[in-house]
Structure 1
């Protein structure tokens, strides 16, 4: 039995309470306004307190190897209620969503951007086989599963996707919560941004859509419905896009861009 689990649960409740007390914060930067959600503060606090400098005494028990393994293993249990809410958000707006359904499908082609843009950049930065794992997608569960099955996580490709997965977990929500309102200030329609929020990551979608809702609360139902529908569609179609489009195109591009590479 994990004796330190109770410390982790108590710590999580304390961090949640502190983050909620801080609340949503809008930071004006010139003509832009950056919105920071409680989720962002929770991530920053846990990252900061997880530094080796602070991992002493009770903090060492909280950040024990068993607790870290437990948190990563059972994260899906926390995400399931969120998935259920996605469905509930979509239902009232289903008629409007179906009217623009083809847009949701076309946006899936945007997933290929990590291959067309990310792969050449990664190669220019000096990556080789690691670039295959790092640029297949945004490095969430789907890409992680595909790469681990095909190459294993101990391979160079596995290290690439795992690195992006970790970076996305740590900074993805922060980036999306900051970037979404900036695009809104640039004049992009709220419906388009809501659709773009559903990238296949629950935390990133929540961060982006919640920030948009905080900026335009009167459109909350539309924002959450479009974001949730996009998220669900990405989770479903994204796998097929990755396997049948992204992976073959990436393999072809890698072969052309990297001559004489040996696995």
Structure 2
């Protein structure tokens, strides 16, 4: 057990070192420039080495079930310093944030998009109760906790939210690190994109805000402050939005969509 744990730590340090050596890279695609963070390379590397074909010998020990469960269970402790950083980034820009505070509140209504847009698409694709877990939100810790308490993770709803949680963990940061600078090239204001970075996922927010900072370094303090404030508000108000707005709306839509589908 101790040997496998030591291998896991060595693997993590080696992955971080390789990713940082590659560093931030800009890839021009016509008029659009996509920025890729070291975080993206770290995720891609660990994903590739986690494929079954590579899980032999030492890699089999690194990706043992015990190590995977340990990493998932204690991920929150790694995120705690990031949460503290949110507060440190918000404080210097608090006056500016308070001036546009109502925008942060209204932004929470965007969390209903997963229900309004995602649920009908999921039903069309053939999902049923799995769609309830998959479209309640972006499938992070809040949605995971709500679905597990209400339906259990062994239920169809639980399988739905777990699927989105895994997909978000694997591809969320990669998507956000590409999508944020892409929208910047299409003319969106950097403040709006920074605000939109706080979707309730620390890794996604970090990926989006870091690529924006790399593209507009002179606005680093504003970008980090807006992204951090948005993340904090989403983590707090987003829970109430999910329970009192998203869940009832989803229940109503699901009944009507499934009923009409069965006619």
Q: TM-score range by the shorter chain?
A: over 0.9
Aligned residue number for residue 127 of structure 1:
127
Moved over 4 A (4+): none
Deviation at 1:124, TM superposition (A): 0.4
**How far apart, CA to CA, are the structure 2 residues paired with 1:70 and 1:158?**
21
Q: Say yes or no: does 1:203 pair with 2:180.
A: no
Aligned residue number for residue 97 of structure 1:
97
Aligned residues: 262
Aligned residue number for residue 251 of structure 2:
251
For structure 1, the 5+ residue unaligned runs are: none
For structure 2, the 5+ residue unaligned runs are: none
**What are the within-5 Å matches in structure 2 for residues 150-229 of structure 1?**
150-229=150-229
**How far apart, CA to CA, are the structure 1 residues paired with 2:24 and 2:64?**
30
3-state SS of 2:3 partner:
coil
TM-score, structure 1 as length reference? 0.98
Deviation at 1:260, TM superposition (A): 8.8
Structure (1 or 2) with the greater helix fraction: 2
Does structure 2 retain, via aligned residues, the 8 Å contact 1:198–1:231? yes
TM-score, structure 2 as length reference? 0.98
**What are the within-5 Å matches in structure 2 for residues 23-38 of structure 1?**
23-38=23-38
Does structure 2 retain, via aligned residues, the 8 Å contact 1:198–1:228? yes
**How far apart, CA to CA, are the structure 2 residues paired with 1:167 and 1:152?**
19
3-state SS of 2:226 partner:
helix
Does structure 2 retain, via aligned residues, the 8 Å contact 1:112–1:137? yes
**How far apart, CA to CA, are the structure 1 residues paired with 2:257 and 2:134?**
16
**How far apart, CA to CA, are the structure 2 residues paired with 1:121 and 1:13?**
41
**How far apart, CA to CA, are the structure 1 residues paired with 2:81 and 2:193?**
23
**How far apart, CA to CA, are the structure 1 residues paired with 2:245 and 2:79?**
28
Q: Say yes or no: does 1:57 pair with 2:73.
A: no
Deviation at 1:54, TM superposition (A): 1.1
**How far apart, CA to CA, are the structure 1 residues paired with 2:229 and 2:170?**
24
Residues 39-59 of structure 1: per-residue CA shift (max 9 Å, x gap): 000000000011111111111
**How far apart, CA to CA, are the structure 2 residues paired with 1:68 and 1:128?**
30
